C-alpha cells in the first residue's frame, strides 16, 4: 500500500471555528482540529459543538482531530464525536503511553497517530506502534523536555531531541508504519530556524512536520520537495530496474542495488509518484 503524503500537519484550535476554513485553505496536507492543549477546560464542550457544526456545514472539509488523552474526563466524548463524523478522517491521541488507550482509540475505525510525550510513552513505543489502526507516529518535545528537566534552546536539548527522533523513527520502521512526522517548531516567526529543523528531520528519515501556524506550511513543503536532479535520478533508477529486471547495476558511475532502488522509490513517493 502506498504511503499517504503528510509533509505538513497544521493544528487549528477547536474553539476557533472561524479559523477552520482558513486552515483548510492553507494547503497543508492535513489539518488537525485541536480539542486538547489549545482549548481551556471550560471550553471543551463548546469546541466539540463547533467541530460538529462545521462538519455538518462543510462535510467536504476532511480533518484530523487531536482529542484529549485517555486519562481525562473528555476522552470518551471526544472519541464518540470523532467516530460519528465522516469528515473526521483520522484521530491524533496525545500523551500516548497506555496501550489500552491506544487500542480503545483504534477501535473507532479511523487512522490513528499517537503522540509520544513522556518517558513512559517512549518505554511503551513498541506496544503503541503495533496497535491496530496506528498509521504513523509523532512526538511532543515540549512535554518531554519538561518531564526530563531539559533546558530548551540548548545544545543538550538538541541532543535529547535527536535521541527521541531516532527512537520514534526506529519504532516506525520496525512496525511498517508510514514515515513519522516531526514535532512542532514553536517560533513561527523564525522561518530560517524552521527550515533547519525540518531539514534535519527530513534527512533523518521523517516524512513531514507538525505546524502551528499557516505561514509554516509553505516552508515545510519546500524542504520536503525533492530537488529536480533527485527526481530525475530516482525516475531513471526505477525505469532501468523496471525495463531490465535488474536489481544490481551501475548508473551515472554509481552502484545501484535494492536499498538504492527503495530509496529512489521513496523520493518519488514524496511527490505523490509511484514506484515499481
- Sketch the domain layout of the chain as residue ranges: 8-224, 228-269
Q: How far apart are CA 20 and CA 33, in angstroms?
A: 8
Q: Which long-range contacts (CB under 8 A, 24 or more apart) does 119-126 make?
A: 119/144, 119/147, 119/148, 121/95, 121/96, 121/97, 122/164, 122/167, 123/97, 124/96, 124/97, 124/98, 124/99, 125/167, 125/168, 125/171, 126/171, 126/174, 126/175
Summarised one tens digit per residue, pLDDT across range 234-250 is 888 898 898 898 888 88
| 88-93 vs 63-66, strand pairing mode | parallel
Whether pLDDT at 1 is above 60: no
Q: How far apart are CA 184 and CA 209, in angstroms?
A: 7
Q: Rounded to two decimals, what is the model's pTM?
A: 0.87
- Tell me which H or E stretch contains 211: strand 208-211
Helix/strand/coil percentages in the chain, nearest 5: 50, 15, 35
pLDDT band at 226 (very low <50, low <70, confident <90, very high): confident
Q: How far apart are CA 30 and CA 33, in angstroms?
A: 10
Across the strands, what pairs with 181?
A: 208
Whether pLDDT at 276 is above 80: no
| CB count in 10 Å sphere of residue 253 | 5
Summarised one tens digit per residue, pLDDT across range 176-214 is 999 999 999 999 999 999 999 999 999 999 999 999 999
So what's the pLDDT on residue 228? 79
Superfamily for the 8-224 domain: Phosphoenolpyruvate-binding domains (3.20.20.60)
So what's the pLDDT on residue 231? 83
Q: How far is C-alpha 98 from the chain's CA centre?
A: 20
What is the mean predicted confidence (pLDDT) over 102-117?
Answer: 92
For the four alpha carbons of 182, 23, 92 and 106, in that order, the dihedral sign comes to negative
Complete edge-to-edge strand list for the sheet that includes strand 112-116: 138-139, 112-116, 88-93, 63-66, 30-34, 8-13, 208-211, 181-182
Amino acid at each position: 500500500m502506498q504511503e499517504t503524503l503528510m509533509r505538513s500537519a497544521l493544528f487549528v484550535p477547536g474553539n476557533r471555528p472561524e479559523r477552520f476554513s482558513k486552515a483548510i485553505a492553507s494547503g497543508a496536507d492535513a489539518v488537525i482540529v485541536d480539542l486538547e492543549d489549545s482549548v481551556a477546560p471550560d471550553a471543551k464542550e463548546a469546541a466539540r459543538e463547533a467541530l460538529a457544526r462545521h462538519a455538518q456545514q462543510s462535510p467536504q472539509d476532511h480533518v484530523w482531530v487531536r482529542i484529549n488523552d485517555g486519562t481525562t474526563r473528555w476522552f470518551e466524548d471526544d472519541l464518540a464525536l470523532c467516530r460519528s463524523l465522516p469528515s473526521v478522517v483520522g484521530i491524533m491521541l496525545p500523551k500516548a503511553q497506555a496501550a489500552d488507550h491506544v487500542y480503545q482509540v483504534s477501535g473507532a475505525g479511523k487512522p490513528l497517530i499517537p503522540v509520544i510525550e513522556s518517558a513512559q510513552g517512549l518505554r511503551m513505543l513498541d506496544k503503541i506502534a503495533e496497535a491496530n489502526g496506528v498509521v504513523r507516529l509523532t512526538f511532543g518535545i515540549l512535554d518531554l523536555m519538561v518531564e526530563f528537566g531539559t533546558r530548551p534552546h540548548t545544545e543538550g536539548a538538541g541532543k535529547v531531541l535527536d535521541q527521541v527522533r531516532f527512537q520514534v523513527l526506529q519504532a516506525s520502521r520496525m512496525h511498517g508504519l508510514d514515515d513519522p512526522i516531526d514535532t512542532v517548531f514553536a517560533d513561527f516567526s523564525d522561518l530560517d530556524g524552521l527550515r533547519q529543523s525540518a531539514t534535519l528531520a527530513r534527512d533523518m528519515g521523517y516524512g513531514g512536520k507538525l505546524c502551528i501556524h499557516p505561514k509554516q506550511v509553505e516552508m515545510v513543503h519546500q524542504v520536503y520537495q525533492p530537488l529536480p536532479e533527485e527526481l530525475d535520478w530516482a525516475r531513471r533508477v526505477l525505469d532501468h530496474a523496471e525495463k531490465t529486471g535488474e536489481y544490481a547495476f551501475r548508473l551515472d558511475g554509481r552502484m545501484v542495488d535494492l536499498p538504492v532502488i527503495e530509496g529512489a522509490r521513496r523520493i518519488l513517493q514524496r511527490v505523490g509518484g509511484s514506484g515499481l
